[in-house]
Amino acid sequence: MKRTALVTGGARGIGAVISRRLAEDGWDIRIHHNQSEQEAHALAEELNGIAIQADVRDFASVRAMFQAAGPIDLLVNNAGVAQYGLFTDIGPEAWRDLFAVNVDGVYHCTQCVLPHMLREKRGAIVNIASIWGITGASCEAAYAATKAAVIGLTKSLAKELGPSGIRVNCVAPGAIDTEMLQSLSAAELALLRDETPLGTIGTPDDVAHLVAFLASDKARFLTGQVISPNGGLVI
- What are the angstrom distances between the C-alpha of 2 and each of 11, 28, 210, 217? 21, 7, 21, 14
Give the residue numbers annotated as catalytic, written as ranges.
143
Contact yes or no for 147/133 (Cβ under 8 A): yes
Contact yes or no for 18/208 (Cβ under 8 A): yes
Contact yes or no for 38/173 (Cβ under 8 A): no
For β-strands 123-128 and 166-171, DSSP reports them as parallel
d(CA 199, CA 213): 24
Residues with Cβ < 8 Å from 142, sequence gap 6 or more?
Answer: 83, 87, 90, 94, 95, 98, 99
